[in-house]
Structure formats: structure tokens, C-alpha cells
Amino acid sequence: MNNTQHVTKRLLVTGGAGFIGSNFVHYWLEQYPNELVVVLDALTYAGNRANLASVESNPNFKFVHGDILDTGLVEKLLAKEEIDTIVHFAAESHVDRSIHGPDAFLKTNIEGTHNLLKAAKKIWLDDGIKPHRFHHVSTDEVYGTLEPGAAAFNEEHQYLPNSPYAASKASSDHIVRSYHHTYGLNTTVSNCSNNYGPYQFPEKLIPLLIANCLDGNPLPIYGDGKQIRDWLYVDDHNRGIDLIVRNGLDDNTYNIGGNNEWSNIDIVMLVCELMDEQHPEGAPHKNLITYVKDRLGHDRRYAINASKIIEQLGYKPHEIFETGIRKAIKWYLDNESWWRSNQSRGQTR
């Protein structure tokens, strides 16, 4: 196991035009202005070039429109740009979509990840070992569901995925691990809790609530609304990835969480209260709440134990939920043209 710090100079960020990926690109270029960031994104419905508009003129930023399934393209990028670090966000990620169309999830999340690993092995290992790191961004959903009162997921928790999305991410986690143990590739994995913040696609819970409050549309709640999730502000997630990429031990998994469990119905009530304050037209917005049939295979509770990254790497979230959610709502109110333009790009509800 390699315990030395990984020095980053030239990054390839897959899925860098999506929600978390684009926030990561903004974060990295601000924190490390002298490092090159190359984004590879297929610009499917959830990828949006506009998310990167403010960095397009940065001389240390490059955008490539392409698919992680194109192994030759990835090999060319790694060699031409002398990439030393891959941060792999690119994935199909919406659970509802995976229920109705799982094929795309298996292709992108499993085959796509494998193609990246093959390309990385060829460029970084086959012609002499080059300094490198492959960081794979995963999800807490690979662990399955928790009963109320059960201990939060730690990195040793058994994988028990319950949706095609979660199963595809679990599979990709295992493939990443295998490339370390079989070929010696320097890999790390992070499993994060639910993210929220700027640039999140409007079909996800929090931006969907904000948009529907503004339009006076129903606020759909699955089942009884008592499903519990741990919520993490997106830049706190990016701080965690930063620590792992630079200081994490290779062949290690790190959970990144906010220590911030909320039930879905409580999230909805809080967003309604804050929307009443910031957009009083239509208040009280809680009158828009509508209960709908529960999602198939809906996991009851997720909770992340982030003690490993806290103790080993000094991680600490900067945002508590009460401050982060206000930031998120303000961003969506200030950027209405952004989310309105995205509402027509494949929304499922």
C-alpha cells in the first residue's frame, strides 16, 4: 500500500458538466489555479455545458465532448494531456430512471468505468509506471437500506444494493478495486450521501421542490415521506474528494457524509417554510404537498459514518444543513433561467 502523498498537476474529470462534477471543477480551479483540468462529458440530459460557462475562458480548463465508453478517446486524452489524476463522476444516477430503464445504467456505470480503467492501465502502467491516481466517486446506496436506530454505514459494511442504479455502482466499485489488486493501479473510492447545491438537475428532490413551489405545482412525496437520508452540501463533498485524491491511501474506500439525517417529509416542510420566507407569493407552500405511490424497492434509510475520513484525513463539513439549504434555495431563485432551461431536458416527473 502506498502511503505517500499524491501530487496532482493535470486532472481528467469525467462527467464534469453534471451536477457534482461541475461543482468540483469550479472548486478545483479556484483552489489550485495552476493545475490543468480537462473535462470529458457526453452531455446527456443531465450534463450541461452551461454549468461550466464561468470557467470556459480559463487557460487551465479544457472541455472534450465525448463518451467514457470510447476507450480510444480516453487513451488519447490521457497521453496527449499527460493526465496524472482521474476523478470519475460520470454515471447514470437517477434511481427512478434505473427502475424504468436499467440498461443504460449497466452500460455507463459498469462498462464505462471499465473502459476508463483499461485506458488508465495502458497509459499509466503498461509502458512503465507513471505517478497516477484513479479516484472513483460512488454512493451510499451500494450498502442497501438501514433500519431505524441501526448503526450508520461504515466502509466495512456489506454491499446490498436494492435498485439497478445502486447495483451498477456497486459493480463499478468492485471493478475499480480489482484493477488495484490485479494490476497495481493506484485507486481510491468514495461513497457519499445525498448531495444538494447549485447546478443540480431539476428532477432531484430539492430543486424539484423549489421549482414546483415557484410554479404552484404539486410537491410529490413517495409513500409516507418518512424515508431518511443523510444530506451533504456539494462543496463539502468536493473537499472530501480533494483530501482523498491528495492524501488518501491507495486501495482505500472513504465514506463522505454530512452527519445530517433528515426524513423526506421534514425536508419538504423545511423547504416550504424557507420558500414562504423568500418567495411569499403562493404561501403557505406546504399546501402543495401531495402523497404519491411509493417507489419500487425504495430504501428506507441511509446514514453515513464518516469517521474514517475525519480521523485519517482531517475532513470536516463546512456547511450545516440550515445554512446549506438557504444557499441552495438562493442559488435556484437567482438562476431561474438555468433550471427552467433544464426542465425540458428529460425530466421524468
Residue numbers annotated as active site:
140-141, 165
Contact 188, 248 (CB under 8 A): yes
Contact 239, 309 (CB under 8 A): no
Alpha-carbon torsion angle 27, 31, 35, 39, nearest 10? 0
DSSP 3-state of 63: strand
Rounded distance, CA 274 to CA 271, Å? 5
Contact 100, 28 (CB under 8 A): no
Rounded distance, CA 273 to CA 139, Å? 29
Rounded distance, CA 341 to CA 212, Å? 15
Q: Could you tell me how far CA 275 lies from the centroid of its own chain?
A: 25
Q: Could you tell me how far CA 222 lies from the centroid of its own chain?
A: 22
Rounded distance, CA 240 to CA 255, Å? 9
On the question of a cis peptide bond just before residue 164, with omega within 30 degrees of 0, the verdict is: no
Q: Closest Cα partner for 71 from 36, 106, 113?
A: 113
Pairing of strands 261-263, 228-233: antiparallel
Q: Give the largest CA-CA distance in the chain.
A: 64
Type of residue numbered 76: K
Contact 96, 297 (CB under 8 A): no
**297 phi/psi in degrees, rounded to 5:** 60, 30
Type of residue numbered 327: K
